[in-house]
């Protein structure tokens, strides 16, 4: 024999402190700057390598 009892879901609405919002926002902004820096570095490196090849006459 099985005894089935109802389940209770407790829901409480709590406000998080402002520090949670600031930490999350700053981490997203920091990640965006990191990705932008990586992209900028890759584009600059590719442009510099292409300019070197053009200077040597090896670009085809």
> Residue 4 — very low, low, confident or very high, per pLDDT cuts 50/70/90?
low
pLDDT at 16 over 80: yes
Which residues lie closer than 8 Å to 50 by C-beta, 6 or more apart? 59
Average pLDDT over the chain reads: 88
Q: Would the pTM count as exceeding 0.75?
A: no
- Identify the residue with better confidence: 45 or 10: 45
Tens of pLDDT, residue by residue over 20-44, are: 999 999 999 999 999 999 999 999 9
Q: Measure the CA–CA gap between 28 and 36, rounded to whole angstroms.
A: 12
DSSP assignment of 1-60:
--------------PPPHHHHHHHHHHHHHHHHHHHHHHHHHHHHHHHHHHHHHHHT---
Where do the structural domains in the chain lie, given as residue ranges? 20-60
């Amino acid at each position: 024999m099985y005894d089935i009892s109802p389940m209770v879901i407790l829901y409480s609405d709590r406000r998080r402190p402002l520090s949670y919002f600031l930490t999350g926002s700053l981490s997203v902004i920091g990640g965006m700057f990191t990705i932008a820096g990586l992209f900028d570095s890759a584009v600059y490196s590719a442009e510099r390598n292409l300019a070197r090849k053009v200077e040597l006459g090896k670009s085809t």
